[in-house]
A and B are shown apart, each in its own frame.
Chain A
Amino acid sequence: MHFRKRASLGLKASAVCGLAFLHLPILLIFLYAFTTEDKSYQFPPPGLTLKWFGVTWNRPDVWASLQLSLEVAAVSTLLALILGTLCAAAVSRAKFFGREAISLLVILPIALPGIITGISLRSAYNILDIPFSTFTIILGHATFCVVVVYNNAIARFRRMSGSMIEASFDLGATGFQTFRYVVLPNLATALLAGGMLAFALSFDEVIVTTFTAGQQQTLPIWMLEELVRPRQRPVTNVVAMVVVMVTFLPILGAYYLTRDTSASRN
């Protein structure tokens, strides 16, 4: 028992510094949303104000892109929930040839850089002459959202014992009844968690979207425009803060729903 039971100071310090490195920049966003300075990114802010929240509230372009983002995220999440659950059910229930290949296929859209998915879809739309629309955005988003639902669902399916389903059938339930009263209640929190993460993933996605959106602006595309050519810094600051808060909620929610299975994106 020569191995230390307590962490050395150096280890503790580097772990804490590493975590601080991950969190401090995000906290800074909260400060900048209140700054009175609107021409530069001056630090420390010369003064604090709430007026930019009102200004942002009255911006139709922000609302329009927010609405498009919510629409895309909602439809993509729904599609991902259906496809991901079906896939997880099949892969977890049986051993069959090509199981590994299917897992790989599901993971590929997020394992390869987003730019590959983006340019692939772009070139497919080009060959097939498909014009850009909300539909083309959703097509891309649903594809990379499947994996999140799949990961959460398969972790839950593996814990669910097959004998419960057999018992349900033995007691005379139909397939639909078994799904409705046995499988779904067991699966619900995992699906909710997967759905929340898929929603957060889609709501935030920008790389694939730049290739599939045409003239339409989702909220991330709107932000990207501001990052490249800053025009309304204060409004961007407020939008950034709201985006941080909106994405934190599903992440925390998903964490509490799947704490015991510790299913995650990876």
Chain B
Amino acid sequence: MNSTTLAVRHSSPGSWLTDLFWNKPGLFIFCLLLPPLLWLGIIYIGSLFTLLLHSFFSIDEFSGLIRYEFTLKTYAELLSPANFDVILRTILMACAVTLAAALIAFPIAYYAARYANQKMKALFYLGVMLPLWSSYLVKIYAWKLILAKQGIVNWVVEGTGATFLLNSVLSLPVVGGNSLAVSYIGTFIVLLYVWLPFMILPVQASLERIPESLLEASGDLGAAPKQTFRLVILPLALPGVIAGSIFTFSLTMGDFIVPQIIGSSRRFIGQAVYAHQGTAGNIPLAAAFAVVPIVVMIIYLYFAKKRGAFDAL
């Protein structure tokens, strides 16, 4: 069949190439893949590799220049109490944000997946997509306005006479502070706000995939709605929650702008990376710090894959 059609084709300039690719589809795929693979391979994987390389170098204490020799000294520095605190603090914050995001996302996703009609569904989808895609900095800026000394939160608190409530929250050890804008609570709220939409979409997708008949069967077999929810819906929605948690966890762990603008002066991993590579010029230590989220994410992804979260992406 091919030979007859090929014979009909006129000898236009590109036709020999067409014939070549038609006869050798593997070559065609190879040519398609070559530019993107070269780009991502050289620029992205290449730079990741130099990052890894840098983390095995060290900084000369006297000259402040990078000594390009293999050493584990920089990694040992990570384990110093001050630096280890930074890592622990970041991971705890990422866990807290992820848990809170799952709790807030679930009702939104559940309503959109099970009760919303076609029109409402579109509205919900846009309602999640718009905040997800709108400017990251503007979102943080909005919270700076909200949490400012003369901002809306203090206005509401003073107006309703809830000052004592806010004060008692702020007087909590560790998480509290002089005001919301300089406390862990503030950092937590803004991180939650910024990354929440990434949790909603995968949860909703996994809930939508649960067939109606399964829930009906559960009811027919005598399960109360609560039991159906706990024993049928939750386990089936879990991969979606884990898929969403990959985003919230990873993005929180790498964020250095939110804690810099809203939060106490205690550093997170991202801030440490940024500070060390900047004026200090200590790229090796910055690189070693950056390897931590990569390792944590690799472990996280391994367990997420085991729970089937990748099919829910």
How far, in angstroms, from A22 to B115 measured CA to CA in the complex? 20
How far, in angstroms, from A70 to B39 measured CA to CA in the complex? 22
Residue of A nearest to B298 (CB): A112
Are B257 and A206 in contact (CB-based, < 8 A)? yes
How far, in angstroms, from A251 to B126 measured CA to CA in the complex? 9
Are B44 and A143 in contact (CB-based, < 8 A)? yes
Are A22 and B197 in contact (CB-based, < 8 A)? yes
Shortest Cβ gap from A187 to chain B (Å): 14
Task: List A contacts of B128 (CB < 8 A).
Answer: 19, 22
Are B133 and A251 in contact (CB-based, < 8 A)? yes
Residue of A nearest to B10 (CB): A172
Contacts A19-B108, A172-B8; is A228 near B260 (CB within 8 Å)? yes
A66 at the interface (CB under 8 A from B): no
Are B201 and A94 in contact (CB-based, < 8 A)? no
Which one of A22, A42, A243, A265 has the greatest number of beta carbons of chain B within 10 Å?
A22
A134 at the interface (CB under 8 A from B): no
Task: List B contacts of A57 (CB < 8 A).
Answer: none
Are A120 and B47 in contact (CB-based, < 8 A)? yes
B79 at the interface (CB under 8 A from A): no
Shortest Cβ gap from B96 to chain A (Å): 17
Are A18 and B223 in contact (CB-based, < 8 A)? no
Are B143 and A255 in contact (CB-based, < 8 A)? no
Contact of B196 among A22, A83, A96, A224 (CB under 8 A): A22
Task: List B contacts of A204 (CB < 8 A).
Answer: 135-137
Contacts A204-B136, A244-B134; is A1 near B219 (CB within 8 Å)? yes
Are B51 and A21 in contact (CB-based, < 8 A)? no
B138 at the interface (CB under 8 A from A): yes
Interface flags for B90-126 (1: CB within 8 Å of A; 0: not) read: 0000000000000011011011101100000010111
Contacts A127-B50, A224-B257, A228-B261; is A25 near B143 (CB within 8 Å)? yes
Residue of A nearest to B233 (CB): A3
Are A174 and B105 in contact (CB-based, < 8 A)? no
Task: List A contacts of B141 (CB < 8 A).
Answer: 29, 223, 227, 236, 240
A54 at the interface (CB under 8 A from B): no
Task: List A contacts of B257 (CB < 8 A).
Answer: 206-207, 224, 227
Contact of A1 among B104, B151, B216 (CB under 8 A): B216
Are B54 and A123 in contact (CB-based, < 8 A)? yes
Task: List A contacts of B142 (CB < 8 A).
Answer: 25-26, 28-29, 240
Residue of A nearest to B255 (CB): A113
How far, in angstroms, from A176 to B19 measured CA to CA in the complex? 12
Task: List A contacts of B46 (CB < 8 A).
Answer: 124
Are A26 and B151 in contact (CB-based, < 8 A)? no
Residue of A nearest to B133 (CB): A251
Interface positions of B from 178 to 197, Cβ below 8 Å from A: 193, 196-197
Contacts A15-B111, A22-B127; is A176 near B14 (CB within 8 Å)? yes
Shortest Cβ gap from A126 to chain B (Å): 6
Interface positions of A from 92 to 119, Cβ below 8 Å from B: 93-94, 96, 102, 105-106, 108-109, 111-117, 119
Binds A, one of B69-77, B165-173, B246-254: B246-254
Contact of A90 among B33, B124, B135 (CB under 8 A): B33
Shortest Cβ gap from B180 to chain A (Å): 13
A181 at the interface (CB under 8 A from B): no
Are A87 and B219 in contact (CB-based, < 8 A)? no
How many positions in chain A have a CB within 8 Å of any CB in the partner chain? 94
Interface flags for B139-150 (1: CB within 8 Å of A; 0: not) read: 111111110111
Contacts A25-B193, A169-B5; is A115 near B18 (CB within 8 Å)? no
Task: List A contacts of B26 (CB < 8 A).
Answer: 94, 96
Interface flags for A116-152 (1: CB within 8 Å of B; 0: not) read: 1101111110110000000000010011001000000
Binding site for B on A (CB under 8 A): 1-4, 6-7, 11-12, 14-15, 18-19, 21-23, 25-26, 28-29, 32, 40-44, 79, 82-84, 86-87, 89-90, 93-94, 96, 102, 105-106, 108-109, 111-117, 119-124, 126-127, 139, 142-143, 146, 169-172, 174-176, 197, 200-201, 204, 206-207, 210-211, 220, 223-224, 227-228, 236, 240, 243-244, 247-248, 251-252, 255, 259, 262, 264-266
Binding site for A on B (CB under 8 A): 1, 5, 8-10, 12, 14-15, 17-18, 21-22, 25-26, 29, 32-33, 35-37, 39-41, 43-48, 50-51, 53-54, 66, 104-105, 107-108, 110-112, 114-115, 122, 124-146, 148-152, 155, 193, 196-198, 201-202, 215-216, 218-220, 223-225, 228, 246-247, 250-251, 253-257, 260-261, 270, 273-274, 277, 283, 286-287, 290, 293-294, 297, 313
Besides A1-B220, A123-B50, 12 new A-B residue pairs in contact (Cβ under 8 A), listed by A number: A18-B107, A23-B131, A29-B141, A83-B35, A113-B255, A115-B290, A119-B273, A127-B54, A146-B40, A227-B140, A240-B142, A264-B201
20 of the cross-chain contacts (CB-CB < 8 Å) are A2-B219, A3-B215, A18-B105, A25-B139, A25-B193, A41-B150, A42-B151, A43-B152, A113-B253, A115-B290, A119-B286, A122-B283, A127-B50, A146-B39, A174-B9, A220-B137, A247-B134, A248-B134, A252-B126, A266-B313
